[in-house]
Amino acid sequence: MIDLRDFETKQIVKNPNAINDHGGAFVTPNTEYVIEGPQYSTPIGWEYAPIEDYAEKYRGLITFWKFDRVKGRVDPSQSFQIELPPYWQDLCDAGKGPSEGWFFCNSFNTEMATGGIEEGNPPFEAGTAKNDTDFLHIIDWKKAEEVFKAGNTENINGIEMIRLPTAVEEGILYFTPEPKSPHGADVTPGGEFVVVGGKLDPHVTIYSIDKIEAAIAAGGFSTDPYGVPIIPLDNTMEAQVELGLGPLHTVFDDKGYAYTSMFLDSAVARWTLGGPYAGKNPDEPWKLVQKLPVHYNIGHIASAEGDTVSPDGQYVVALNKWSIDRFANVGPLLPQNFQLVDINKPGDQMQLLYDMPIGMAEPHYVQIIKADKLQPFEVYPEVGWNTETMSVDPNAVTDPSQARVERDGNTVEVWTVVVRSHFTPEHVSVKKGDHVIWHLTNIETTRDATHGFAVPAYNINLSLEPGETETVEFDANQAGTFTFYCTEFCSALHLEMMGYFFVEP
Amino acid sequence: MGVGVRSGDYMNLLNLDPDVKVLLPDGSARRLMDYLIPSAILMLAALMLMISMFVPYWHMSLTAPQYPKGLYVDVYVNHLEGDVREIDALNHYLGMPKLDEGGRLERSISIIAVVVQGLLLIAAVFVHNRWAAALALPALAFPFIFLADLWLILYTYGHSIDPQSALGGAIDPFTPPLFGAGMIGQFGTVASAGPGLILAFAAAGVVLIGLWFHRAAYKPIVDARNKVKASTSQAAQA
């Protein structure tokens, strides 16, 4: 959980049963739940099971983390999981409007391939791509919540889980085919349709929530080996639009256009939605309108407020995985490339505006919202702010006169005041083997007056934003004379902002 | 259009109770209004002084490239407001004392002092001789005393540089300007009078006007009394 008042991580929740995920975080329309999609199926609860037991022991898992809006934290005690067949469920999206209460995930290993290239078996890349279709997972999360609240669950490693037979019995889980090794499941702004990219199929397939609900009401399904009902594609599909090679993710604007990232084509495909969206632009519904080359190998794509019910429609950003020749060569590790695309004009008038190198790992899900929807802190509200509890820290020291060092047995506790351009105290002495608890308060109230605190020999490096209190604990196991110093160029006397840390042998 | 108002009515508004006269000891009569005017003016001056306590007397703004919104300090009669903390943090490099350390005594007694000045002005309304001017004297002198004291505080700031501070050894003692622009390091400073000080000066002006009307009203009474006293003693001698 990242708090958008200071853009800092407030909570990391460990999933006790799932070992990996791809579709990291999706939210229901009112953030009732933050949903952690799965990725590669494994035995539940990090247990050992040989690959030969794949069909029996390996499982997919989707986690509904309850979000406490008041606290801004996930509440694991109100969260639950649903056991799924081992089909490598991947990327998901929550329904909204007419599809509110549903949740959709694509999957790409209904073949249940188990790999083993070294033993002459087909590698995963081939084994998982054998079938013409995989399954779009359709999950009734409102019903799942009822089942969880009714206690029809099993507690596994401290979290309640709806087991697969229960999910089938209660009508929580349905499948419908999706071609081929698909990617993404993106709900249109009005919630009427779900768009799935074909990846190895040149189409995007569009499913209608009306058709899905009608088919579920009609009943009479075949099932997969785990008993999950399969709704035929003909009964759920609204349209297919041929876009080209490698369609992955789809985002939307306010003019009835959809934008799909085309990985193999290295392009953004603009196409028209039908149904209630027809007539919002001059183009014919369910048709490809323009393919704009991007540079290169686009993966994810973001449109301004595109995941909301009212997309902004000014810009799309292409999140390209390769940049090749777009920037000065800085050696074999290249930056990724974000490209800003103007989508204001209808028809084939999309225009590439700007390249921006991203020096971090592969860019994934991105949301664009209007900046004035956020009111981040300029400095922390009070001096001595604990950024984890979001309140004043009991160990804050707000004036140099309160700075001190106290010893209690083998524990030495230090309260340090940090301000331009000095630490108080500047000499800290402990004995080898002492346990050191060091509290530091940056008492600055001026915007951008950030200080750092580094004791490199002890692998300690803190950033102290204006008003922030931090605590670091370590064992002083190495005797010697060490330095600590500020690591943010805070003032003309920044280099002078240092102190000595003595560890007596 | 509408109901016409004759100019005499306006005069009556300005001249309260025109049918009431004040009879002086020598038998001459004067308008009641002549006595109400100085009272009202002196009370107005007292009110202006009271209001001035709630607004800044002196303002200093500082600009530097890394402070796009600038810094400022507002000096009230009894406290400081603004970026005092940040200005202190910057001043510590020069070894200058904290802003809060200047004029502590003055700030602690200022509210009582200003209230007393106001009460003395109201007392002057009831003193109908030249001693009224003596009662008004503190209010007349107050803005000048404030400025002189502020200059002394600024002088003390600029002449209390701690030679042990980072830049203290490199700076000659100085007095920050009471008004107008100055330059300290990369900081441009502009000092100006605040609405409180302007009100205090205006109150002093109003006091002078009030005293003029006060004299115009009450000197004839004193004179008449003297005249009667003289004629009584003449009659006694006769």
* 3-class secondary-structure state, position B132: helix
Residue A145 lies in a domain: yes
Alpha-carbon gap, residue A436 to A439, rounded angstroms: 10
pTM: 0.83
Which of the listed residues A156, A185, A214 is the one where a domain comes to its end? A185
Whichever domain contains A452, its CATH number is: 2.60.40.420
Min Cα–Cα distance to chain B from A446, Å? 7
- Cβ contacts below 8 Å, chain A against chain B, sum to 12
Flag whether pLDDT at B9 surpasses 60: no
ipTM of the complex: 0.74
Closest CA relative to residue B75, chosen from B103, B49, B43, B117: B103
Q: How many domains does chain A contain in total?
A: 2
How far, in Å, CA of B185 to CA of A505, rounded? Answer: 46
Residue B174 — pLDDT band, cuts 50, 70, 90?
confident
DSSP state of A402: G
pLDDT at A422 over 60: yes
A191 in Cβ contact with A97 (< 8 Å) = yes
Residues of A in contact with B89 (CB under 8 A): 419-420, 444, 446
pLDDT confidence of A364, banded at 50, 70, 90? Answer: confident
Amino acid B13: pLDDT: 61
Cis geometry, peptide bond prior to residue B176 (ω within 30 degrees of 0): no
| Within-domain flag for A108 | yes
Q: A42-43 and A58-68 as β-strands: parallel, antiparallel, unpaired?
A: antiparallel
Q: Is position A11 within any domain? A: yes
Burial class (CB in 10 A: 0-12, 13-18, 19+), A143: middle
Name the burial class of residue A354, with classes exposed (0-12), middle (13-18) and buried (19+) by CB atoms within 10 angstroms of its CB: exposed
Give the mean model confidence (pLDDT) for residues A197-217: 95
Pair A162, A82: CB distance under 8 Å: yes
Please identify, among A169, A185, A201, the residue that sits at the C-terminal boundary of a domain. A185
Tell me the shortest Cα–Cα distance from A466 to chain B, in angstroms. 12
Helix (H, G, I), strand (E, B) or coil at A476: coil
What's the gap in Å between the CA of B79 and the closest CA on chain A? Answer: 20
Q: What is the 3-state secondary structure (H, E, C) of A99-135?
A: HCCEEEEEECCCCCCCCCHHHCCCCHHHHCCCCCEEE
Instruction: Tell which wins on pLDDT, B238 or A354.
Output: A354
pLDDT category, B16, cuts 50, 70, 90? confident
* A6 part of a folded domain: yes
Cα–Cα distance between B124 and B135 in angstroms, integer? 6
Query: With 90 as the cut, is the pLDDT of residue A502 above it?
Result: yes
B214 pLDDT higher than 80: yes
Using one digit for the tens of pLDDT, what is the confidence trace for A17-52?
998 888 678 999 999 999 998 899 999 988 999 999
Type and span of the H or E element at B52: helix B33-52
Q: Which domain holds residue A441?
A: 385-504
The answer on pLDDT for B7 being more than 80 is: no
Encoded tokens for A327: 């920037």
Q: What are phi and psi of B121, to 5 degrees?
A: -65, -40
> What are the tens digits of pLDDT across the range A270-285?
999 999 999 999 999 9
* Mutation site for A-interface testing, chosen from B69, B84, B87, B93 by largest number of A Cβ within 10 Å: B93
Across residues B8-23, what is the average pLDDT? 72
Domain boundary among A185, A209, A233: A185
Distance CA B113, CA B142 (A): 9
Reply yes or no on whether the pLDDT at B6 is more than 70: no
Whether B166 sits inside 8 A of A446 (CB atoms) is no
- Inter-CA distances, A194 with A106, A233, A252, Å: 11, 13, 12
- Domain CATH for A172: 2.130.10.10
Asked if residue A247 belongs to a domain, the reply is no
Cis omega (within 30 of 0) on the bond before A99? no
Return the pLDDT at A360: 77
Q: Which two tokens stand for residue B174?
A: 């100085």
Average pLDDT for B91-111: 92
Please say if the pLDDT value at position B10 is more than 70: no
The pLDDT of residue B238:
67
Which range of A158-167, B8-17, B168-177 scores highest in mean pLDDT? It is: A158-167
Contacts of A496 in chain B (CB under 8 A): 166
